[in-house]
């Protein structure tokens, strides 16, 4: 469920017509619904209300400060994978004891930042990282909570570029070696082992991979406790999928995901941490765009719009689908025709969808790419020297620009020409 619906013949974000945002902010522009963000976060809390838990929003899905503050004010923790994301979480008012630091390549600078600013735990991805963190923490006179990320070698049955739990993936320590790695972690200064971490991938639409991975985590937890480790937290990752196609069967609900957690690890008495990102923010956002030209081609018609692959990379990078809908509501029974919806970037890969069924369209018409709240704005770039796409947050009948579109002058001012040129 989201809060992007037709009202009075116009697609609206909550109670704000998207045409109004286009007129005042321009296009392309990302638009987020505060009500949808609030509802989706609440569903995950409800799914785990049977146990102590912390829902940590995966900042990599959408790192806008306003989005992070909204979720943080609701009680969300934050899962970060870089120093920049850590800084964003802190700037949004999230305390360090609600921030989990993940990621395979943490630098000493990033580790120091988190130790000084406060951290709930580091999720360790490798033995070299474990030794580096130990040496740094000890040199600072600090002891930091850690969990070791284990790779359970479970196929998440998702896109190969977002699968993270198979043996050939770069993430985590092979679960078969976990006990020896935990023994070493417990012997190192500056580290305090508190939990086990696992994350098998993103956009999962089947609960069976979770069930298989969490069963392995449960067995490992019992073995680690038998070895003398105090395992009090389980970080079970995130990755629950969203319905990118409205005509398809919906992925499992958070409440069903929570039941899998309860059935597999609920008897261990551990605090549960999860790291949803896409499922909270994906359907809470759309990318609003305007038609530049309708072009007749050889055997096909092109809808050339002002959004491009630099604004929404997912279709070009992953072959991802986003439902595309007109902002002006079509009449009941209106004829549709197939369009190849493309952007203006000088790449054939700048194609959002081939054969998208849309009503008759003309230059100046507005369209919306649905389910664009996750991995949209955060992956945007200024390729072709196109200004970074702005973002808007809607609440009820009002909205605010939460990231402005830079001017050409602001873009150029970031470059400098050496005095010898």
Closest alpha carbon to 30 in 7, 13, 55, 46:
13
The answer to whether 276 is a known ligand-binding residue is yes
The answer to whether 277 is a known ligand-binding residue is yes
C-alpha–C-alpha distance, residues 256 and 332, integer Å: 36
The answer to whether 349 is a known ligand-binding residue is no
The answer to whether 293 is a known ligand-binding residue is no
C-alpha–C-alpha distance, residues 113 and 301, integer Å: 52
Scan for tokens 């696992």, then name that residue: 198
Of 12, 56, 270, 346, catalytic? 346
Closest alpha carbon to 350 in 313, 296, 323, 318:
313
Q: Record the tokens describing residue 132, joined without a space.
A: 């580096």
Closest alpha carbon to 370 in 410, 310, 315:
315
Q: Strand locations in 324-384, DSSP E?
A: 324-326, 337-342, 351-358, 366-369
Q: Record the tokens describing residue 94, joined without a space.
A: 């999230």
The answer to whether 405 is a known ligand-binding residue is no
The answer to whether 275 is a known ligand-binding residue is yes
The answer to whether 239 is a known ligand-binding residue is yes
Per DSSP, the three-state class of 250 is coil
Is the Cβ–Cβ distance between 347 and 254 less than 8 Å? Answer: no
Q: Strand locations in 83-128, DSSP E?
A: 99-101, 121-124
Active site residue 270: no
C-alpha–C-alpha distance, residues 289 and 292, integer Å: 9
Q: What residues have CB less than 8 Å from 87, skipping those under 6 apart? A: 113
Is the Cβ–Cβ distance between 380 and 28 less than 8 Å? Answer: no
Q: Record the tokens describing residue 351, joined without a space.
A: 């194609």
Q: Strand locations in 343-395, DSSP E?
A: 351-358, 366-369, 391-395
C-alpha–C-alpha distance, residues 153 and 132, integer Å: 26
Annotated binding site for substrate: 278, 314, 318, 347, 375
Annotated binding site: 239, 275-278, 314, 318, 347, 375
Which amino acids are annotated catalytic?
Answer: 346
Annotated binding site for pyridoxal 5'-phosphate: 239, 275-278, 375
């Amino acid at each position: 469920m989201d809060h992007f619906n037709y009202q009075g013949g116009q697609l609206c974000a909550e109670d704000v017509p998207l045409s109004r945002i286009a007129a005042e902010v321009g296009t392309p522009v990302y638009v987020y619904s505060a009500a949808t963000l609030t509802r989706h976060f609440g569903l995950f809390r409800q799914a785990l209300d049977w146990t102590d838990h912390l829902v940590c929003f995966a900042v990599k899905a959408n790192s806008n400060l306003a989005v992070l503050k909204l979720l943080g004010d609701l009680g969300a923790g934050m899962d970060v994978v870089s120093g920049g994301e850590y800084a964003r979480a802190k700037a949004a008012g999230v305390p360090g004891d609600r921030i989990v630091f993940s990621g395979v390549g943490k630098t000493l600078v990033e580790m120091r930042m988190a130790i000084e600013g406060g951290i709930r735990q580091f999720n360790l991805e490798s033995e070299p990282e474990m030794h580096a963190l130990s040496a740094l923490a000890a040199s600072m006179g600090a002891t930091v909570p850690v969990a070791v990320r284990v790779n359970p070698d479970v196929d998440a049955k998702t896109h190969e570029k977002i699968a993270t739990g198979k043996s050939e993936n770069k993430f985590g320590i092979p679960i078969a070696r976990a006990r020896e790695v935990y023994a070493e972690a417990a012997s190192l200064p500056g580290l305090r082992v508190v939990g086990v971490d696992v994350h098998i991938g993103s956009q999962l639409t089947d609960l069976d991979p979770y069930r298989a991975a969490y069963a392995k985590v449960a067995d490992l937890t019992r073995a680690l406790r038998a070895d003398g480790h105090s395992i009090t937290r389980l970080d079970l990752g995130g990755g629950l999928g969203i319905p990118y196609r409205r005509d398809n069967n919906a992925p499992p609900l958070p409440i069903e995901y929570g039941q899998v957690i309860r059935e597999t690890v609920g008897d261990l008495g551990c605090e549960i941490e999860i790291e949803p990102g896409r499922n909270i923010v994906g359907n809470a956002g759309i990318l609003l765009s305007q038609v530049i030209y309708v072009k007749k081609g050889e055997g096909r018609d092109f809808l050339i719009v002002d959004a491009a692959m630099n604004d929404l990379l997912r279709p070009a990078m992953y072959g991802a689908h986003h439902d595309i809908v007109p902002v002006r509501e079509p009449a009941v029974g209106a004829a549709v025709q197939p369009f190849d919806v493309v952007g203006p970037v000088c790449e054939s890969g700048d194609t959002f969808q081939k054969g998208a069924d849309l009503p008759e369209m003309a230059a100046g018409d507005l369209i919306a790419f649905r389910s664009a709240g996750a991995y949209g704005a955060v992956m945007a770039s200024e390729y072709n020297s196109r200004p970074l796409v702005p973002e808007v947050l809607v609440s009820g009948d009002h909205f605010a620009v939460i990231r402005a579109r830079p001017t050409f002058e602001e873009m150029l001012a970031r470059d400098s020409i050496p005095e010898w040129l």
